[in-house]
Structure 1
Amino acid sequence: MQFTTSDLKPLLANWAEIMTGQKDKLIDMDSIVGDGDLGLTMSDGFTAAYDEIKNSSETDIGKFFYAAGKRMSTAVPSTMGTLMASGLMQIGKAFKGQDSMKETDFATLFAAYFDGVQARGKAQVGEKTFLDGLYPAVEQLKADVAKNNNWTDSAKEALKAAQAGVEHTTTLIAVHGRAATRGENSRSLIDPGAYVAQLLLEGYAKFAEACK
């Protein structure tokens, strides 16, 4: 199966819809460990990203994602907004010059997202951040590509891996942000950023299911 920018618009629509639907939960989660603006940042940011490309005639996948990320960066210039925008823009760099992509390229897409966020935020896996939710999913996607597994099933397994990553954050001590000031008391809490990664994989699994 080949995907053009027109085919990929529903993926960003899913992300905008899911982040908006989870806004209140993200606010509640972030109020415990942060400043409580995560729900607004994610809902506004991904909505802005989708609004940027929903009527676009751009055929270059790289430019398509870069434009979405750039729009998010100006719409929500907070720390987390900038990180998520950096992920989208890194996807843009990874797919620059391509007018189509295959099912197996979604492993590359999410790996690029991971790289963009990590390069911008300088965090490492195990430091109780967004990366801890996304990393297991990326590894699952790469493994499924190597095994030539069914694409839709792979998307579901990647979501499960992200969910496991989120749950694993309850064993980690926060290193970054306000949560880090809690020290050992941060260990039992789910990291809201990692949960955002899970939501991205939920949108992807929904997208893959709709493409069957």
Structure 2
Amino acid sequence: MCGLDFQTELNYIQVEIVVLNLFVYVYVHIAAAKPAAAAAPAKPKPEPLPEVEIGLKEINVAITDSEGKVKASGRWPLLIDEAERVPVFIRHRDFNNLNAIDPNDMQPEKIRLGLLGAMRYNKPFTMNLGESGSLDIIVDRFNEVLPGLLDMVLDKSILQEENFRKLIKDSDGTEYTQIWGLGDQFIVVFVSSNPAPTEETKGRLLVFRVQ
């Protein structure tokens, strides 16, 4: 602004300030007028299904799903047995059985091989939750094997080839690298002695209450 007197320069500066404030005002009000992005609707929590009462002699029926109730529900079974007879029954069967209370059983490699072996050899994979009525006690342990693993097990997406192959390591050799089909004998069974599992747990599993 060479050649202009002080008053003229001051007037120019004042005009520039007014214009700048106007731009700021317009920008702020236009931004405020924009509708907020619609939040993604929360995924509804699954509702618990009606419980199934079974006798001690029907434990194998529930685990093998010979009546088709588990398959029809789209969920894995949770066997509630306050007398803790189911774990004894399982120990004497050719199942891949893990105990959530046993630190050795909750090692990532033990979980990985237990689940992978059950799928590979088409047999039940059982998880004893002990006195806990919540799946929360195992979610972190499963995630140490593979992020989101427990969710993949519960929604059965682990049965998809691109998912169960994520469990396979190069060090496993050819035992698990061969392509195989998952048969009807593969099933994931949860066991608990807690008579009152959490609503979230009941919402994700089909409850069998052993009488």
Name the structure, 1 or 2, with higher relative contact order (CA <8 Å, separation 6+).
2
Q: Same fold (TM over 0.5)?
A: no
**Greater helix proportion:** 1
Whose radius of gyration is greater, 1 or 2?
A: 2
Which structure's residues are more often strand, by fraction? 2
Shorter-chain TM-score range: under 0.3
Structure 1 length-normalised TM: 0.27
